[in-house]
């Protein structure tokens, strides 16, 4: 996730990345290193990584959003052949690294937030402040979109999605209000419906935030994609390399936390849902923790960019 430029020297049409100094420290970027930014966005993190890896550092940037790719290409053009930008999902990370003979790498970054490009410039319904179409797909490859979920799913199915992926306590009331007001034609109308049955949250958080989050996750099957991406990040990272993940809500963070914990464990029998008096999984650890728990943005960063307030950064090292 990236925030609006704030006089740091970046071109004003771009945005500044979240927790930039923490990311560079966590990755331990070295001159000549090879890195994958699996969620490229506008290329803010990638730009800083490439500069820190100079001379000779290389990077592959991956993003499913074709508009993000265009923006990143402009931002990263100064690096020439040292950067390769790929318009695919990070679920293809290992195949991409193999295709370009770009493994093992020194580090992988996964910033799981919706970019400011998507929130501020696009018209796919990610923002609840405009009357954009209810789309919410990261790519234009067809398939499920938010309009189908909002206008065709049963009240129970809709409520389940909002509760599971949005951690929304008012999920049933919101689902009922949506069904009663069908057809819902755009994002602004949907936000108004939600606001009619739920008050604004703490710290002024918009009442539609968690529902929009839930719809976006369901449309893009993000939880399944995240687990696949984490597995592939391990596979492409060399011994001693770092995997850095920034998440923005509890469900994502729980998946990352559990993945890192299991990957660092000698035995994961219990993680499969049953207990045994002796280990039968023969699990070999592939990661070790670098920090205890998660890092969060500084107060000054949250002040400058309220969207960063829920960010949590976790980092592990490849064994």
What does the pLDDT look like over 219-231, one tens digit per residue? 999 999 999 999 9
Strand partners, 245: 110, 314
Distance in angstroms (rounded) separating the CA atoms of residues 136 and 124:
5
Query: Which pLDDT belongs to residue 200?
Result: 75
Give the CA angle between residues 85, 87, 93 to the nearest 5°: 80
Give the per-residue pLDDT at 165: 94
2/15 Cα distance (integer angstroms): 5
In this predicted structure, what is the pLDDT of residue 48? 98
Q: Which stretches of the chain score pLDDT less than 70?
A: 1-14, 115-125, 142, 201-204, 270-277
Helices (H), the chain: 20-27, 44-52, 66-75, 93-99, 116-120, 146-152, 155-166, 171-180, 187-197, 209-220, 222-236, 250-263, 299-304
The confidence score (pLDDT) of residue 5 equals 42
Residue listed under structure tokens 């199915």: 157
Prediction pTM value:
0.86
What per-residue confidence (pLDDT) applies to 277? 66
């Amino acid at each position: 996730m990236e925030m609006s430029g704030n006089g740091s020297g970046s071109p004003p049409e771009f945005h500044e990345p979240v927790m930039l100094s923490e990311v560079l420290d966590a990755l331990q970027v070295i001159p000549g290193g090879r890195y994958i930014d699996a969620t490229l966005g506008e290329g803010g993190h990638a730009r800083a990584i490439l500069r820190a890896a100079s001379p000779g550092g290389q990077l592959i940037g991956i993003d499913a959003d074709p508009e993000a790719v265009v923006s990143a290409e402009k931002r990263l053009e100064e690096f020439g052949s040292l950067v390769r930008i790929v318009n695919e999902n990070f679920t293809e990370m290992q195949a991409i690294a193999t295709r370009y003979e770009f493994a093992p790498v020194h580090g992988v970054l996964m910033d799981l937030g919706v970019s400011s490009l998507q929130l501020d410039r696009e018209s796919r319904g990610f923002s609840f402040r405009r009357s954009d179409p209810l789309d919410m797909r990261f790519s234009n490859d067809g398939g499920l979109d938010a309009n189908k979920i909002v206008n065709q799913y049963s009240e129970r199915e809709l409520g389940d999605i909002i509760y599971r992926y949005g951690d929304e306590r008012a999920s049933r009331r919101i689902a009922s209000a949506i069904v009663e007001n069908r057809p819902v034609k755009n994002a602004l109308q949907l936000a108004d419906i939600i606001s009619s049955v739920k008050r604004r949250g703490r710290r002024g958080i918009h009442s539609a935030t968690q529902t929009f989050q839930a719809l976006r996750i369901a449309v893009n099957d993000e939880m399944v994609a995240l687990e696949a991406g984490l597995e592939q990040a391990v596979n492409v990272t060399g011994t001693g390399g770092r995997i850095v993940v920034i998440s923005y809500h509890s469900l994502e963070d729980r998946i990352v936390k559990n993945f890192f914990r299991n990957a660092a464990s000698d035995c994961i029998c219990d993680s499969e849902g049953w207990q045994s008096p002796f280990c039968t999984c023969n699990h070999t650890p592939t990661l070790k923790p670098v920090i205890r728990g998660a890092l969060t943005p500084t107060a000054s960063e949250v002040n400058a960019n309220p969207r960063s307030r829920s960010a949590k950064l976790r980092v592990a090292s490849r064994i």
